[in-house]
Structure 1
Amino acid sequence: MATLFSPITLRRTEFRNRLWVPAMCQYSVEKRDGVPTPWHLVHLGSFARGGAGAIVTEATAVVPEGRISPQDLGLWNDEHKAAFVPIVDFVHTQGAKIGVQLAHAGRKASTPRTWEPQNGTLSESEHGWPVVGPSAIAFEGYDTPRALETAEVEEVVAAFVAAAVRAQEAGFDFVELHAAHGYLMHQFLSPLSNERTDQYGGSLENRARIVIDAVTGIRRATGDDFPILVRFSATDWVEGGWNEHETATVASWARDAGADLFDISSGGIAAHADIPVGLGYQVPFADSVRREGHVETGAVGLIVGAQQAQEIVEEGQADVVFVGREFLRDPHFALRAAFELGVELDYYPQQYHRAPFHAPVPA
């Protein structure tokens, strides 16, 4: 059995393999009410049918003003919770686990979908809203956010906790806090976007407080058996910004507060960052955070092949591998990867038995 297809357990939840689907925004809630649609059922369900070990929903806002776009998913009320239930149930029928990425976009909220003209922050006439952040520092080309009051930061933490409880009640197997890609929690972590002088700014401990408080609150509210993941950007790729050593330190604090695995990406806080994108370019960060922080990590970032993914886990660079674009190209990537690695799985869909990967092409 290739290590990539060996199970991994977080708390009491066993995942059938280590090939996972990361959060990937779909911007497909046409009614702009945050409620998941048939698109989300088919999109997420296809990965479960295709053999993934775990699937993470796209960034799902904990409050309406936390959405990246007006077409984002939400989990700030019980209507959202009820609409997620059939999606979760279907994923479970296929033997996969599913988690929800809880998010607040902060100063990068209220923007157009990625395939629409990028004109900065949407106006109210364009279904946008005023944005907030840790400090009144704008992301390049976007509106300047209003700095959150101390009490409002505490309300955001409470919203993350409430959304996590709804996720658990909807049947999700875990939650992931989005503290990466320049969104609100990352904005607090990075000194490039956080110039606060209260308990949420200044020292590393203060800048990390929003993350640690959210993990602590979710652990208390959901009990001892519910896994919590955190997605970090390991570096801002800008001198004087957030870096992998701070990430490792905060990850260890979050582990002590009750988090279980850290999904390591990078960038997003600065539009001008020079990022050397290439195959597996973020894997070294997952490796360094894992070793320095003594935590379990997931690697992500242009991981496109079975052998590449296998080597990452086999060599101990990460505990799981998140594959995004390749799963979009082929929702059955996990089944194909198993075939390429010579692994026989017992969860190949019976309905597809006439089309195994090893079948010869007729002459």
Structure 2
Amino acid sequence: MTVGVKAGLSSPLAFAHGPEWANRFAVAPLTTMQSHRDGTLSEDEYTWLVRRAEGGFGMVMTCSAHVSRAGQAFPGQLAAWDDRFLPGLARLAAGIAEAGSVSSLQIHHAGRRADSRLSGVPVIAPWDDPTKDARALTTAEVEQVVADYVAAAVRAEQAGFHGVEVHGAHGYLVCQFLSPRNTRADRYGGPLENRKRMLLEILRGIRESTGSDFQLGLRLTPERNGIPLVEARTVAADVLDSGLLDYLDMSLWDAFKETYEEEHRGRLLIEHFTDLPRGGTRLGVAGKIGSASDAAWCLDKGADFVLIGAGAILHHDFPMAALADPEFRLVQPKPREHFVAESVGPVFLNYLSENWDDYVA
């Protein structure tokens, strides 16, 4: 059993586009808040991500980088909406590649979850939302946001990233368009066929505007955003079958749980997606994967790779540790000194200590 576990997780993973990954471990896109206030790359963010590449992850994904000025959700968020950010992005892509990993820039727009105090511009969303002081995008503005995603992907390719991941999860703009709350009267709202149109236009635009070696991924989440599981499964099936994606990243919050929806109880959430036809598209899962056996279990359930969040924070070399020892498991919390030694910058460390009880002792 030990040999089988190690062989599965350590085996390379090839894609329709771009380089293969050396193993089945990817760094999950994590909010770090440690870029500069203007969205340019900081030394702390560079060091944090390159250290994970040095630690043996097959793919290193950045934090979410907003594609429009109005899309900023967090202080210290990396940006990709203008050529002024190219030098930092190019340095980051080169650093990850030189450390031996495949790189991906996650591209993002917060929509109604944006913060106008940070962006300096009004909050925009699929619908008018007085609770967020957000106004509905016009049809032309939706088209412009689609173009912004495509432009950010092209910028990432120019910077040297091996690919991008479109952030379609966790209640941000693409996820908002997928929500049944989106009752827009134009072609981007109402029935699911319209609600998923923006996402498909983004994916198609990126695929058509980037090279044949550029990898394209998508993050979706099936729960906690008001999207029924049956619709989440439909969207996942559509993108897996579209031929546009190299991989689908399913953010499950907990890869080992049943769904919240009573009518679907008795079946694990992961199983609602691993049984979907995927052709040449790879399927990854994320959510509380904290040990070598957890990662192996996900592959046994049908995933092609795993995305590691907490493990990547606590151990820059999580893949090396997991492949060397099938009994390897996270131990939390850790003292602040541990995180400093793991190249977690002071801003990120403060964010962890103030918002997550199980990280910093």
Q: TM-score, normalised by structure 2?
A: 0.81
Cα–Cα, structure 1 residues 324 and 299, in superposed 2: closer, same or farther, change >3 Å?
same
Runs of 5+ unmatched residues, structure 1: 111-121, 267-276, 344-363
1:153 partnered with 2:153: no
Q: How does 1:7-156 map to 2 (within 5 A)?
A: 7-11=12-16, 12-30=18-36, 32-110=37-115, 124=117, 129-137=121-129, 143-156=132-145
1:328 partnered with 2:313: yes
Cross-structure match for 1:199: 187
CA contact (8 A) 1:70 1:128 kept: no
Structure showing the higher helix proportion among its residues: 2
**SS of the residue aligned with 1:292?**
coil
CA contact (8 A) 2:25 2:305 kept: yes
Q: Quick check: 181-190 or 226-235, which moved more?
A: 226-235
CA contact (8 A) 1:235 1:244 kept: yes
**SS of the residue aligned with 2:186?**
coil
1:289 partnered with 2:257: no
Q: CA deviation at 1:131?
A: 0.8
1:280 partnered with 2:256: yes
Q: Deviations over 1:19-67 (max 9, x none)?
A: 110100111233x211111111101011001111111100100011101
Paired-residue identity, %: 34
Cross-structure match for 2:289: 303
Cα–Cα, structure 1 residues 204 and 278, in superposed 2: closer, same or farther, change >3 Å?
closer
CA distance in 2, matches of 1:37, 1:8: 31
Q: TM-score, normalised by structure 1?
A: 0.80
Q: CA deviation at 1:279?
A: 6.8
Cross-structure match for 2:347: none
Q: CA deviation at 1:227?
A: 1.5
CA distance in 1, matches of 2:295, 2:114: 33
1:318 partnered with 2:303: yes
CA contact (8 A) 1:25 1:58 kept: yes
Q: How does 1:176-325 map to 2 (within 5 A)?
A: 176-192=165-181, 194-236=182-224, 241-255=226-240, 256=242, 258-266=244-252, 280-281=256-257, 284-294=268-278, 296-313=282-299, 315-325=300-310
CA contact (8 A) 2:254 2:286 kept: no
Cα–Cα, structure 1 residues 197 and 279, in superposed 2: closer, same or farther, change >3 Å?
closer
Cα–Cα, structure 1 residues 303 and 217, in superposed 2: closer, same or farther, change >3 Å?
same
Q: Quick check: 257-266 or 94-103, which moved more?
A: 257-266
CA contact (8 A) 2:19 2:162 kept: yes
Cα–Cα, structure 1 residues 13 and 285, in superposed 2: closer, same or farther, change >3 Å?
farther
Letter of the 1:149 partner, please give it.
Answer: T
CA distance in 1, matches of 2:195, 2:172: 14
Cα–Cα, structure 1 residues 278 and 76, in superposed 2: closer, same or farther, change >3 Å?
closer
CA distance in 1, matches of 2:19, 2:255: 31
Question: How many equivalent residue pairs?
Answer: 311
Q: Quick check: 227-236 or 153-162, which moved more?
A: 227-236
CA distance in 2, matches of 1:127, 1:213: 25
CA contact (8 A) 1:211 1:254 kept: no
Q: CA deviation at 1:292?
A: 2.8
RMSD of the TM alignment (CA)? Answer: 2.2
CA distance in 1, matches of 2:134, 2:257: 31
Letter of the 1:259 partner, please give it.
Answer: L
Cα–Cα, structure 1 residues 78 and 229, in superposed 2: closer, same or farther, change >3 Å?
same
List 4+ stretches of structure 1 deviating above 4 A.
none
Runs of 5+ unmatched residues, structure 2: 1-5, 260-267, 329-361
CA distance in 2, matches of 1:244, 1:213: 22
CA contact (8 A) 2:70 2:119 kept: no
Q: CA deviation at 1:136?
A: 1.2
